[in-house]
Amino acid sequence: MLIDGINYRTIWFSEDGNTVEIIDQTRLPHTLVILRLQTSAQMVRAIQEMNVRGAPLIGAAAACGMVLAMQEATDDASMELAAQVLCASRPTAVNLRWAVERMLAALRPLSPELRPAAARSLAQVICDEDVALNRQIGRHGLALLRSHYEKVGRPLNILTHCNAGWLATVDWGTALAPIYAAFDAGIPLHVWVDETRPRNQGAALTAWELGKHGVPHTVIADNAGGHLMQHGQVDVVIVGADRVTSSGDVCNKIGTYLKALAAHDNHVPFYAAVPSPTIDWRIADGLREIPIEERGADEVAWVHGRTKDGELLSVHVLPEGSPAANPAFDVTPARLVTGIITEHGVSRPDQLRRIFP
């Protein structure tokens, strides 16, 4: 997508192919910084520290991490170890495991000297495929948003949580792909952006990328969504997902479940936009089977921002000695989900297998 007239993806290989470059998402919205990663350990750290984040992007980053690992050592034991370490870097988004397993399946049968080049070309395929899947999600989501717009007959109010835009993917985004497609097609719309404490991916990232594209939006406190729905100010909710079970349970950023409950109570359609690598066909019960990442208490205790003078600052917002807990994701049961927008079309959550035979 465009940043001030220049086309960017979130991740790419340097021209010599030996370095992976990423947009550092911990520095947005205040500064655009590109990080250059040369080792698989640096990639693991970038995933853990959330310089790259968002389920599809984490998958692409892990594939690129395997390329860096193959530049370091190509024997079986080193390759398996690098894969294990990458897989363990974040637990919830299934795209990470999906990408590493796909890389391993291609690399294992090859002799060690063939592995670096093969890893490089498959990682590029995984990145390019992500863009293509998201474009398809945008296409199907556009038809859906058009039908909602025709029903309401005034600018459509869409609420989204966290960041499932192009920054969460290689390009285009998942939940925001239909919004970009509808905006580009001239459908009048406005997006309510949940700030998404504790890391504020909505306020920092979603608002930034919507603004760069010119999409009308308003950032709201996480607790405002229910009130807006009760007053008819939300027509549709669209979120992304970090993992969806075969039965359609949707695991996404903490707070998504509360939005789904409010949407259900107010008869507001609630959609998750999900490319197929986010579907975990091995599990059916999201509440029991999806590992929920527990992140550091500091993310709750400290808030980062910019002062009026432009200085970047971190401040502590808890009383001295108060502990904090930080579960990073929650699971919205399929019964609260109106539909799942995939690259194959829109499905009822409990009928995903019909569109992915």
Find all residues with CB under 8 Å of 268, minimum gap 6, and list them: 229, 234, 235, 236, 237, 262
Per annotation, catalytic residue among 130, 171, 235, 242: 242
Q: How far apart are CA 59 and CA 131, in angstroms?
A: 13
Sign for the CA dihedral angle at 86, 91, 96, 98 comes to positive
Judged by CB, which is closer to ligand MRU: 37, or 239? 239
In whole angstroms, the minimum distance from the beta carbon of 276 to ligand MRU comes to: 13
In whole angstroms, the minimum distance from the beta carbon of 72 to ligand MRU comes to: 26
CA–chain centroid gap for 309, Å, is: 32
Q: How far apart are CA 40 and CA 85, in angstroms?
A: 9
Judged by CB, which is closer to ligand MRU: 232, or 305? 305
Quick check: 53 binds ligand MRU (CB under 6 A)? yes
Judged by CB, which is closer to ligand MRU: 89, or 201? 201
In whole angstroms, the minimum distance from the beta carbon of 54 to ligand MRU comes to: 4
Stretch that binds ligand MRU, among 47-55, 216-224, 259-267, 303-311 (CB under 6 A): 47-55
Site for ligand MRU in 154-213 (CB under 6 A): 162-164, 168, 174, 201
# of chain residues touching ligand MRU (CB under 6 A): 17
Quick check: 59 binds ligand MRU (CB under 6 A)? no
Stretch that binds ligand MRU, among 100-108, 217-225, 226-234, 236-244 (CB under 6 A): 236-244
Q: How far apart are CA 55 and CA 118, in angstroms?
A: 24
Give me Rg for the CA atoms of the chain: 20
Quick check: 140 binds ligand MRU (CB under 6 A)? no
Find all residues with CB under 8 Å of 57, minimum gap 6, and list them: 10, 11, 130, 167, 168, 169, 170
Judged by CB, which is closer to ligand MRU: 74, or 252? 252
Which one of 54, 225, 286, 349 is in contact with ligand MRU (CB under 6 A)?
A: 54
Nearest to 177 by CA among 139, 218, 234, 231: 139
Which one of 126, 241, 262, 290 is in contact with ligand MRU (CB under 6 A)?
A: 241
Encoding tokens for residue 322? 């108060």
In whole angstroms, the minimum distance from the beta carbon of 331 to ligand MRU comes to: 12
The one-character DSSP state at 220 is E
* Helix, strand, coil percentages for the chain (3-state, nearest 5): 45, 20, 35
Judged by CB, which is closer to ligand MRU: 71, or 139? 139
Instruction: Give buried/exposed letters for 222-246 (b at 16+ CB in 10 A, else e).
Output: bebbbebbeeeebbbbbbbbbbbbb
Quick check: 243 binds ligand MRU (CB under 6 A)? no
Q: How far apart are CA 58 and CA 168, in angstroms?
A: 8
Site for ligand MRU in 316-335 (CB under 6 A): 328
Strand pairing report for 34-37 and 156-160: unpaired
In whole angstroms, the minimum distance from the beta carbon of 153 to ligand MRU comes to: 29
Quick check: 242 binds ligand MRU (CB under 6 A)? yes
Question: Is 16 a known active-site residue?
Answer: no
Judged by CB, which is closer to ligand MRU: 74, or 242? 242
The set of catalytic residues is 242
Q: Residue numbers of the site for ligand MRU (CB under 6 A)?
A: 53-56, 162-164, 168, 174, 201, 239-242, 252-253, 328
